[in-house]
A and B are shown apart, each in its own frame.
Chain A
Amino acid sequence: MSKKREFISGDEAVAIGVKLSRPHVIAAYPITPQTITVERLSEMVERGELNAEYMHVESEHSAISAAMGASAVGARTFTASSSQGLLYMTEGLHYASGGRFPVVMMNANRSVALPWSIYGDQRDSLSLLDSGWIQVYVEDAQEALDMMIQAFRIAEHPDVLTPMMVNLDGFILTHTYEIVEIPEQSQVDAFLPPFQTPNKMCFNNPKNMGFSSQPNDNTEFKYQQNLAVLNAVKVLEQADTDFATMFGRKYNGMVDEYQSADAEVLLVTLGSVTGTVRDVVDEMRAEGHKVGVIKIRYMRPFPEEQLQSLTAKAKAIGVLEKDISFGYEGTVYTNVNSALAKVGNTVPKLNFVGGLGGRDISKADIRNMFLKLQRVAAGEAYKTVDFFNLNVETNE
């Protein structure tokens, strides 16, 4: 069987992945750079390729709210957002995870105002790590498509029943065209069973949902919610394995790595920048530098053990992220550092903060990070947080 390939953008890949997943309801509000996804989905519904209800909600708050309503009667639901829109959904994000509504969302990672910027960074979704959603970050359009299909399977699994956010870098992925392999519908149907849950409102077994709990019971519900996200580890790994068997593409679960085994210095990355880092690793390896990269795919659940073992031999570690928690450090760094501290990994760990508001992260930037990590490994003094591509002089 010849494989079907299309030259499409990341947004379009998401739309195709969603269509193949056969959602019943799509509720979304347009925001740059997510718009092409919802436009394509609307067109698919218009053409009759996608048998779903498309709800023209008047806001992101209503998008997630409508998605939860549909999910509460057992419908498979999709929404999509970005940046300010994602933040406007915040109340609903916590509500969806607490309510155990397995809504799937595409988030086009974009800077958060102020100042306004439509361009990419990861401060929108990273600021919502505590909202209870499973968060995956993809690297290219193919992975974006594939992860939409996997996301429904993971989120809707009875042991998980937790909403899932698939993040792709705004513009860098959403608007860049690539050759993408389109899975066969029959294979997707075999991989992704219909959404079935007893936890829904139905007329045979009516439910009261979204109830209040007293202090006597609340902690138990939160314990259970935490357990559900932890349960996602096995479920997402199985989905990754089964997906590879069926479609021939494996993403290695919660983390991926490149040339990390004997690397003396490592960069830890999230999202599309990883491709550039790999190129720099190849170039520097050719010059004899023992450098490597670890790509975090899932921020929740967090690949604690994998990071602990993959970094065990490195002499210095850098976390490269498009995020800063003002007054401290980047959130990815905080998470990585916490994982490594638990196993007593005390090598220097630097936090490279950049790519904010769409600023390009160049190969030269990345090379400088590796070189700096080598110097730090050799004993050079360092500051943890490094705003590596500032365009001005500072007093530091």
Chain B
Amino acid sequence: MSRPVKQNFIRPSHIEGFPVGPQFTAGHLADTNAGWRTFRPVVNHDTCIYCLRCYLVCPDGTIFKDNGKIAVDYDYCKGCGVCAHECPKNAIEMVKEQL
């Protein structure tokens, strides 16, 4: 897996279940960031030229290559809009999230 996914974390109920000191499994995600987003990037695959500019500049690394197409991990995209702003073909639209 190239990106970590949310784990089902159960807080230890006994002190012996705690990590020994502040160290824990790398890449262990107990939470998503989706709730931060007010706009979501939506890729128009007809206009996308797969230049990978959006993949390159995403501060959260949530844009990924999916069998030759650009895809977005909406669990962790914060909706900053850098991808859409940097897209040379305006192939990404920032669409308001429906609450």
Most buried by A among B18, B19, B28: B19
Taking a contact as CB atoms under 8 Å apart, the answer to whether A207 and B26 are in contact is: yes
Give the residues from 12 to 62 in chain B that come closer than 8 angstroms, CB to CB, to chain A: 15, 18-28
Interface size on B, residues (CB 8 A): 13
Taking a contact as CB atoms under 8 Å apart, the answer to whether B21 and A161 are in contact is: yes
The residues of A that contact B25 with a CB separation of less than 8 Å are 205-208
Taking a contact as CB atoms under 8 Å apart, the answer to whether B18 and A211 are in contact is: no
Question: How many A-B pairs with Cβ below 8 Å?
Answer: 53
**A224 contact from B11, B20, B23, B28, Cβ within 8 A:** B20
Query: In the complex, what's the smallest C-beta–C-beta distance from B19 to chain A, in angstroms?
Result: 8
The residues of B that contact A217 with a CB separation of less than 8 Å are 11, 18
Taking a contact as CB atoms under 8 Å apart, the answer to whether B26 and A208 are in contact is: yes
Taking a contact as CB atoms under 8 Å apart, the answer to whether B20 and A211 are in contact is: no
Give the residues from 197 to 232 in chain A that come closer than 8 angstroms, CB to CB, to chain B: 198-199, 205-213, 217, 220-221, 223-225, 227
Q: A358 at the A/B interface (Cβ < 8 Å)?
A: no
The residues of B that contact A212 with a CB separation of less than 8 Å are 22
Q: A100 at the A/B interface (Cβ < 8 Å)?
A: yes
Taking a contact as CB atoms under 8 Å apart, the answer to whether B27 and A206 are in contact is: yes
**How far is it, in angstroms, between the C-alpha of A220 and the C-alpha of B15 when the chains are bound?**
7
Taking a contact as CB atoms under 8 Å apart, the answer to whether A208 and B18 are in contact is: no
Query: In the complex, what's the smallest C-beta–C-beta distance from B31 to chain A, in angstroms?
Result: 12
Q: A330 at the A/B interface (Cβ < 8 Å)?
A: no
Q: A318 at the A/B interface (Cβ < 8 Å)?
A: no
**How far is it, in angstroms, between the C-alpha of A213 and the C-alpha of B25 when the chains are bound?**
15
Question: Which partner residue on chain A sits nearest B21 by CB separation?
Answer: A100
Question: A220-B15, A223-B15 known; A206 and B26 CB under 8 Å?
Answer: yes
**How far is it, in angstroms, between the C-alpha of A196 and the C-alpha of B28 when the chains are bound?**
24
Taking a contact as CB atoms under 8 Å apart, the answer to whether A207 and B15 are in contact is: no
**B22 contact from A198, A206, A210, A223, Cβ within 8 A:** A210
**A211 contact from B11, B15, B24, Cβ within 8 A:** B24
**B23 contact from A209, A223, A225, A227, Cβ within 8 A:** A209
**How far is it, in angstroms, between the C-alpha of A98 and the C-alpha of B28 when the chains are bound?**
21
The residues of A that contact B11 with a CB separation of less than 8 Å are 217
Question: Which partner residue on chain A sits nearest B26 by CB separation?
Answer: A206
Given A206-B27, A211-B23, A211-B24: 16 more A-B contacts, CB < 8 Å: A98-B22, A99-B21, A100-B20, A100-B21, A198-B20, A199-B23, A206-B26, A207-B25, A207-B26, A208-B27, A212-B22, A217-B18, A220-B15, A221-B21, A224-B18, A224-B20
26 residue pairs from A and B, CB less than 8 Å apart: A98-B21, A99-B21, A99-B23, A161-B20, A161-B21, A198-B20, A199-B19, A206-B25, A207-B25, A208-B25, A208-B26, A208-B28, A209-B22, A209-B23, A210-B23, A211-B23, A212-B22, A213-B22, A220-B15, A220-B18, A221-B18, A221-B21, A221-B22, A223-B15, A224-B21, A227-B15
| 9 smallest beta-carbon distances between A and B, as pairs | A100-B21, A206-B26, A209-B23, A211-B22, A207-B23, A208-B26, A199-B20, A199-B23, A220-B18
Residues of A at the B interface (CB closer than 8 Å) are 98-100, 161, 198-199, 205-213, 217, 220-221, 223-225, 227
